[in-house]
Structure 1
Amino acid sequence: MTDCEKARAELEEYLHNELGAEDAAMVAQHLAECEDCRSEHRLGAALTEAVRRACRERAPEELRALVLTHIRSVEATQAV
C-alpha cells in the first residue's frame, strides 16, 4: 500500500481524532508532504464541519408538530 493509499484510508478517522498517536503522526506527516492528500483532507474537513453545523439546526416548530401528529396517527392505526 502506498503512503497516499494508507493516508487516505485513515483520513476519516484522522479528521475525527480517532487514530492512535503513531498513525495520526504518519498521516500528519504525509499531509505536510503531499498536496493531493492535503486537498482531500481540506475537502473532508469542510464536509465534516458542514455536517456538524447541519446537525445543530432545529426543525421549525410547525414541521415538528406535523411530524409528531403523523407519527401518532401511524401508531394509533397500528395499535388496533
Structure 2
Amino acid sequence: MTDCGCEKAKAELEEYLHNELRKDDAADIQEHLATCTDCSAEHLIGRTMTEVMQRACKETAPEVLRDQVLLKLRALQASH
C-alpha cells in the first residue's frame, strides 16, 4: 500500500501553516488537503491554533496592570 500523501502532509503541516515551504511542496500539501478529510481536519485545527496564538501575542496588558507590575518589581528590587 502506498501513502496517499498523508505522511508528507502531516510531517510538513507546521511549515505549511507558517508559509515556510517551497512553492512546489506547498502546492503538494494544498492539493492533498483538498482531497483528504483527515489531513484537512488536522490542518483546520493547526490553522485555528496558529491564529489564536498570533492574536494572543498581539494583545497588550492594560496600562493599570502594567503600572502595578512595574511598581511591584521596583519595590522588590529596592528591598534586595
If the TM-score is normalised by the length of the shorter chain, which range does it land in? 0.7 to 0.9
Structure 2 counterpart of 1:26: 28
Which sections of structure 2, spanning at least 5 residues, go unmatched?
none
| Alignment RMSD (CA, Å) | 1.9
Q: Map 1:51-70; keep pairs closer than 5 Å.
A: 51-70=53-72
Q: Which amino acid aligns with 2:43?
A: H
Name the structure with the higher helix share. Answer: 1
1:70–1:5 distance in 2 versus 1, CA, 3 Å: farther
Post-superposition shift, 1:77?
A: 4.9
Residue 74 of structure 1: how far off its partner (Å) = 4.1
Structure 1 unmatched ranges of 5 or more: none
Alpha-carbon spacing, 1:62–1:6, altered in 2? closer, same or farther (3 Å): same
TM-score computed with the length of structure 2 as normaliser = 0.81
State how many pairs are aligned: 78
- Give aligned-pair identity as a percent: 54
Q: TM-score, normalised by structure 1?
A: 0.81
